[in-house]
Amino acid sequence: MSDMNALELDALQEIFNVGVGRAASSLSQLTNEPISMSVPVIHMLSPQGASEFLDPHHDRILTCISQTFSGSFSGNALLIFPSVNSLEIVRLMLGSEMPLEQLSEVEQDAMCEIGNIILNACFSTIGGMLSEHFCCQLPVLKAGYITDILNQTSPNKQVLIVQIQMGLEKHNIEGFLAFLLENQSEECLHQAIKQFLTKVEA
Amino acid sequence: MNNTLLIVDDSRVSRMILSKVFSSLASDWTVIEAENGEGAIQQAEKHQPSLIIMDLNMPLLNGLDAALILKPKMPNTTFVILTADIQESSKAKVNSLGIHFIEKPITESVVQQALEFWSTEHV
């Protein structure tokens, strides 16, 4: 987003902030837990830079629910948690009385559903604020190191990362959302932000 | 003397939208701004606003901590948290401290709600 000015970047951050606020509310309802949210941070990075930024030590296996979105701009939205925590998240969602064996069986389905609900909450808000409509594909679950996840999702592309950490405070679980934009979508997003600001300033 | 609204948000765009919408609803108010909780304390002590609308999640000092510092010193001021963090637990925490809570995105009805909170406390 090197050609966006400070006000446009501010607008982009704030739009994602509101979208992720809705997403955190959905996650809170799903898990019956309060969710902490960080101030959003926006970066335009190479895939390698993105890997180093998202997991500096490259030593964690992560679970990623990704959803391809398309509209006036397109890309992938990722909800990422350390894999070691995914079963605990599912347990919070489904209740502690479910046997572990049964919980493991539905873990993948449940994580996809969590991703679907959260990412759609986010997109409906962003779409509403930008007066845009986005089509979202079905969520896809991946597990691996961050480099593998990013290589599968957006190989060899510059990626826009809107990083917002979301934490389940009582359980010391921290995940984050990242939005990876396709190169050709940068200009479309820029135009959408310009139009948004034109309305604000009118 | 005009009433004063203090808007506190680290997002310049949010300050712009809120200022614009609020002025369309209450054109006789003076509107001042701050970028975070620390700035809010300075501005509030200097201008003694009637209404403070503050974001929750801000760098340096968040909106709730700033409100808790200011509230005992300013019993006639209405404090409203305006946030994207719309979880029930966040709302309950803010309300339990005697501070009003409204949700982003900023719309006319949301700002109207803040004005009604002020109006109710100043009848």
Q: Indicate the SS3 state at residue A107.
A: helix
Domain that holds residue B69: 4-121
State residue A160's pLDDT score.
74
How many contacts, defined by CB atoms under 8 Å, are there between A and B?
60
Query: Residue A154's pLDDT band (boundaries 50, 70, 90)?
Result: low
Lowest mean pLDDT among A14-23, A25-34, B104-113: A25-34
User: What's chain A's average pLDDT?
Assistant: 82
pLDDT of B48 above 70: yes
Query: Residue B112's pLDDT band (boundaries 50, 70, 90)?
Result: very high
A130-140 pLDDT, tens digit each = 888 888 888 88
CATH number of the domain at A164, please: 3.40.1550.10
State residue A73's pLDDT score.
81
Interior/surface letters A124-158, b for 16+ CB within 10 angstroms, e for the rest: bbbbebbebebebeebebeeeebbebbeebbeebb
Written as one letter, the residue type at B7 is I
pLDDT of A118 above 70: yes
Lowest mean pLDDT among A19-33, A63-77, A170-184, B21-35: A170-184
pLDDT of A156 above 70: no
Instruction: Report which listed range, A28-32, A139-143, A157-161, B49-53, is most confident.
Output: B49-53
Range list of β-strands (E), A89-149 = 135-136, 140-144
Give the separation between CA A62 and CA A150, rounded to whole angstroms.
Answer: 11
For residues B96-123, give the mean pLDDT.
92
CATH number of the domain at B56, please: 3.40.50.2300
Hey, of B9, B11, B101, which one would you mutate to test binding to chain A, going by the most A CBs within 10 A of its CB? B11
Q: In angstroms, what separates the C-alpha of A148 from chain B's closest C-alpha? A: 32
Instruction: Report the residue of chain A nearest B14, measured CA to CA.
Output: A14
Whether the CB of B85 is below 8 Å from some CB of chain A: the reply is: yes
Whether the CB of A10 is below 8 Å from some CB of chain B: the reply is: yes
Contact B57 A24 (CB under 8 A): no
State residue A153's pLDDT score.
67
A92-106 pLDDT, tens digit each = 877 777 777 777 778
State residue A25's pLDDT score.
86
Name chain B contacts of A129, Cβ cutoff 8 Å. 105
ipTM greater than cut 0.85: no
Instruction: Report which listed range, A46-50, A126-130, B30-34, is most confident.
Output: B30-34
Q: Which residue has the tokens 């009805």?
A: B109
Whether the CB of A141 is below 8 Å from some CB of chain B: the reply is: no
8 A C-beta contact, residue A83 and residue A130: no
Contact B87 A197 (CB under 8 A): no
Residue A143 lies in a domain: yes
pLDDT of B64 above 80: yes
State residue B66's pLDDT score.
96
Name chain B contacts of A28, Cβ cutoff 8 Å. 87-89
User: Which 8-state DSSP code applies to residue A34?
Assistant: -
Q: In angstroms, what separates the C-alpha of A12 from chain B's closest C-alpha? A: 9
Contact A11 B13 (CB under 8 A): yes
User: What's chain B's average pLDDT?
Assistant: 93
pLDDT of B31 above 90: yes
Domain that holds residue A50: 6-201
Indicate the number of domains in chain B.
1
User: Which 8-state DSSP code applies to residue B61?
Assistant: S
Query: Hey, what are A41's tokens?
Result: 């941070």
State residue B52's pLDDT score.
98
Name chain A contacts of B14, Cβ cutoff 8 Å. 14
Hey, of A4, A8, A15, A18, which one would you mutate to test binding to chain B, going by the most B CBs within 10 A of its CB? A18
CB nearest B87 (choices: A7, A17, A35): A35
Indicate the number of domains in chain A.
1
State residue A183's pLDDT score.
67
Contact A35 B12 (CB under 8 A): no
Question: Where on the phi/psi map is residue A76: left (φ > 0), alpha (ψ -120 to 50), or beta?
Answer: beta
Name chain B contacts of A29, Cβ cutoff 8 Å. 88
